[in-house]
Amino acid sequence: MDDKIKEAARILSGAKNIVGFTGAGMSAESGIPPFRGEGGIWNKYDPHSLDIEYYYRHTQESWNIIREVFYSYFNSAILKPNPGHKILAKWEKEGRLSCVITQNIDDLHGVAGNKHIHEFHGNMSRFVCSKCGEKFPATGIPLTETPPHCLKCGGLLKPDFIFFGEAIPEEAYYGSVHAAENCDAFVIIGTSGQVSPANMIPGLAKRRGAKIIEINLEPSTYTNNISDIYLQGKSGEILPQIDALMER
Ligand code: NAD
């Protein structure tokens, strides 16, 4: 393992353009559970509440679950970036990392300090009006009465993340494709690779010749497929270890 971490540090030290690609495992050490599998929130709640058609037909019922899961249970006021998030922010500041492509909706890369983030599935820290498209910080909208309404036009608000049945935001999609096709090192962190179409992004980097470094507790769909280096373990521990060995 030590040799593989050294090799990852060597590759990333020499890279001109690193891209990070993150999933739920990136935020596990910040206390956010996965959606699926053991301890996953969909064992407790029915995911149909996040189906876009269901949301418009049964808005009050959906909001009861949304409020409990995303705005109480994942209380954003107590969520903090973990050491892994901080390393990606440091690499961006140093000019090594051009962007993070994230499937997470928790805003922790932004809180850690990354500026260039492609939010493939949106971001729960904003609400968007389903009528006029205006966006609002979630902290500015009281959830004492749900569903909440737009401060501008009175339309129905929804969290600004992708519900089942919604398209990937165009800017995030094309921005991610461009970033993956133009990097020389691509770091896959804490994602099982099972969610489409996000899971096709790493392959684009591989095809253009980027070195693929993967960090995950368990092998993913990428591990024996496109990963050049697989580092098994927690991202909040492995990223600082790589960083400590990088040349500056
Ligand atoms: P996933 O749940 O399918 O897979 C998570 C992966 O992370 C697993 O492969 C697991 O082995 C790994 N992992 C767990 N803890 C880890 C750690 N400490 N360090 C490194 N790896 C670790 O997640 P996914 O691939 O991101 O797909 C789930 C979808 O659900 C995503 O599209 C995302 O939008 C959403 N989601 C978001 C959040 C969030 O915003 N924090 C949380 C859960 C799910």
CB-based contact 17:98 (threshold 8 Å): yes
Quick one: pLDDT at residue 171? 96
* pLDDT at 152 exceeding the cut of 60: yes
Using a 6 Å cutoff on CB, does residue 215 contact ligand 1?
yes
Reported as a single tens digit per residue, the pLDDT across 166-198 is: 999 999 999 999 999 999 999 999 999 999 999
- Determine the distance separating the centroid of ligand 1 and the alpha carbon of 140, expressed in angstroms: 28
Cβ neighbours, 10 Å, residue 199: 18
What value does the mean pLDDT of the chain take? 93
- Determine the distance separating the centroid of ligand 1 and the alpha carbon of 171, expressed in angstroms: 22
CB-based contact 121:164 (threshold 8 Å): no
Supply the residues annotated as catalytic: 121
Q: Which domains does the chain have, with CATH numbers?
A: 2-32+81-121+168-245 (3.40.50.1220), 41-76+127-161 (3.30.1600.10)
Quick one: pLDDT at residue 77? 53
- Determine the distance separating the centroid of ligand 1 and the alpha carbon of 194, expressed in angstroms: 10
Burial of 177 from C-beta contacts in 10 A (0-12 / 13-18 / 19+): middle
The first and second tokens of residue 184, run together, are 């020389």
CA distance 195 to 11: 28
Reported as a single tens digit per residue, the pLDDT across 197-232 is: 999 999 999 999 999 999 999 999 999 999 999 999
Q: Which protein residue's CA is at the shortest distance from atom 32 of ligand 1?
A: 103
Please, which pLDDT band fits residue 75 given cuts at 50, 70 and 90?
Answer: low
* pLDDT at 115 exceeding the cut of 70: yes
The first and second tokens of residue 97, run together, are 């990392």
Please, which pLDDT band fits residue 74 given cuts at 50, 70 and 90?
Answer: low
The stretch 87-105 carries a mean pLDDT of 97
Reported as a single tens digit per residue, the pLDDT across 50-65 is: 899 999 999 999 999 8
